[in-house]
Structure 1
Amino acid sequence: MTPLQTRHVADLQVLDPQGRGQPWCAASALVLLGERLFSVADDELGLAGFELARPAQAGRCWPLLAAPALPEQAAARKARKPDLEALCSLPAAAAWPHGALLALGSGSTPQRCNWALQPLDAAGLPTGTALPFDTSALYAALRPAHPLLNIEGACVAGERFWLAQRGQPGGQPNRLLGWPLAALLDWLAGRSAPTPPAQALDCPLGALDGVPLGLTDLCALADGRLLFSAAAEDSDNPVADGAVSGSVLGCLDPAGGLQLLGRLPGALKVEGLATRPAGAGLEAWLVTDADQRGLAAQLLHLRLPI
């Protein structure tokens, strides 16, 4: 597989309530809005924002979910965390005239079936209180076809909303689930109940060093394709962590055509992906999850000739 070359930009830090920097750990998604990167983490309750011009500077945090503070002990934290694994930007609507960010729980346990919608202000910063959504009914409707439900990515591409269901070794395949964007906006506005996906695209990614690849994030490209990250993690269920062989990037076109672009260096688990056009190609930012409390997520940068 073609090796991809990345540049280490920063080990991400955020300001704690006392104004001190602390590691932003277990980053699980990334969105680029203007000159600012936003991230959620799978064992945190909030949203972090980082200035693209100063990525090594500690970022700001905003609360997403009104919940008791998570315990520091690893097993207790894993049991109670909301597992925010996906983040996407939403276009302007009556209730959020400057757009919004939507953070999504993975659905892998009953405690992980919450979404949070954070409206943005005219400067692209979070404003007001995040709106909570219990998506148990939607995830219950998905579970018969995906018994090991594990939503790892989300994006809006044109007039369609996509979720990335992560496959498991020896189990269900990687799959992209799509709905009309209007249907999503109707659910969020309370005008209708969630419906089954209008489209499902299987993503047979193969393996890396003998370990099956699973989708970890998703973002839309201007030409209609979907860029994705995937990691080879040796775990056969959506809750337990496993040894990671490495990560790859790839593209999927709306008809289901799949192209693996190459392997990222080392054995990092890349969990977040954001891009913007750059010349004849793209520049991309990636974040990693070390699955270790206290170890900061790495922010990486690379250029893609696609």
Structure 2
Amino acid sequence: MLTLAATPLQLRQLATLRLSAASALVCQGHSFWVLADDALVLQRYSLSGDWQAELTLLPGELPSDAKLRKRRKPDFEALMSLPADSLLALGSGSTEHRCRGCLVEAGNVRVIDLNPLYRALAEHFQDLNIEGGVVYHQQVLLAQRGNGRGRENALVLLDLPQVLRDLEGGQLSAATLQRIVPLQLPELDGVQLSLTDLSVAPWGALYFTASAEATDSSYLDGACVGSVLGRLDAQLNIVALSRLAPVVKIEGLTFQADGRPLLVADADDPAIAAPLFTLDELSEPVRSD
């Protein structure tokens, strides 16, 4: 198994966002969109972290009580950019209430039924927990986070043309599923790493983030001992892995057009606003231009 690079990559905070529990983000032009796993909205910011707008994904309000909010939230954990600049937000699938997605096209939102696909995936994983997604060549790659029973980190490969056809009908079906690729991640300070997001850099390389959270549940949070940034080759093998400093639970990763990454963290505390970070250099062994 690949070992961590000797020198951590240093995160530099750019801004503090207007939401907590940030879970995914995607750059579009001179802005980025960010999701929170305990909210019903998408927020748009400038690349420097200035708030610009908010888009409602689902109607209604979530309870302020932490336990009730956790039980009822849609748990949007993955956000990806699709052709024609549409956006797709996905629930984690970790409970029956978390199997909805939202397709955003030209500011309009359509709710997507993820149950047909997620039921098929539940046959492969002890605890389904989709935490990231990205379009990579003619496929959609989903990140299955192995922080539940079995520690099953994996990449779920979907057929992009079938995904686009399914979305026209308001769902994602089992027909999109091509294959599942298990991903073996090491421990960080004695705690197993688990996937949190995927992103493709402008030079075509596929990157992922993972965090080490002391829990054996896809539902309950635990203490985070750190996060890493990794790179995968075209065969989806891990070829580079670097620790990130300081210690935060990185849940979202995207790249600007100039190659600079943006990352968001979740403190698992609704009173703490999510920080936005960048990495001033992606030096070897992580970056491969």
Give the TM-score taking structure 2 as reference length: 0.91
* One of 272, 277, 288 as aligned partner of 1:295: 272
The equivalent residue for 2:9 is 4
Q: Which residue number corresponds to residue 187 of structure 1?
A: 166
**1:20-68, CA deviations, whole angstroms, 9 ceiling, x for partnerless residues?**
xxxx110000101111011110000010100114x1x3342110113x3
- Counting only pairs closer than 5 Å after superposition, residues 46-195 of structure 1 correspond to structure 2 as 46-53=41-48, 55=49, 57-66=50-59, 68-92=60-84, 99-120=85-106, 127-128=107-108, 130-168=109-147, 171-190=150-169, 193-195=173-175
Which one has a larger percent helix, Structure 1 or Structure 2? 2
Q: Where in structure 1 are there 5+ consecutive unaligned residues?
A: 14-23, 93-98, 121-126
Of the two structures, which has the highest relative contact order with CA contacts closer than 8 Å and spacing of 6 or more?
2
Q: SS at the partner of 2:209?
A: strand
Query: Residue by residue, what CA displacement relative to the aligned partner does 1:66-112 show, whole Å, maximum 9, x if unpaired?
Result: 3x3000110000000000000000102xxxxxx21100000000000
Gaps of 5+ in 2: none
Runs ≥4 in structure 1, deviation > 4 angstroms?
none
Letter in 2 for 1:90: L
| Residue number among 284, 291, 297 corresponding to 2:261 in the alignment | 284
Offset, 1:275 = 1.0
Does the 8 A contact of 1:211 with 1:232 survive in 2?
yes
1:187, 1:194 within 8 Å by CA — same for their partners in 2?
A: no
Tell me how far apart the structure 1 counterparts of residues 175 and 233 of structure 2 sit (CA, whole Å): 23
Q: Which of 2, 8, 30 is equivalent to 1:35?
A: 30
Amino acid at match of 1:85: E
How far apart, in 1, do the equivalents of 2:236 and 2:156 lie? 12
One-letter amino acid of the counterpart of residue 55, structure 2: W
Q: CA deviation at 1:252?
A: 1.2
* 1:219 alignment partner in structure 2: 199
C-alpha contact (below 8 Å) 2:127/2:148 kept by paired residues: no
Aligned residue pairs, count: 277
TM-score by length of 1: 0.86
- Residues 158, 179 of structure 2: 8 Å contact kept: yes
Is 1:249 aligned with 2:242? no
Tell me how large the CA RMSD over aligned residues is. 1.7
Q: Is the 8 A contact 2:127 2:149 kept in 1?
A: no
Identity %: 42
List per-residue Cα deviations over 1:87-141 (Å, max 9, x = no partner).
000102xxxxxx2110000000000000000113xxxxxx23x000111121011
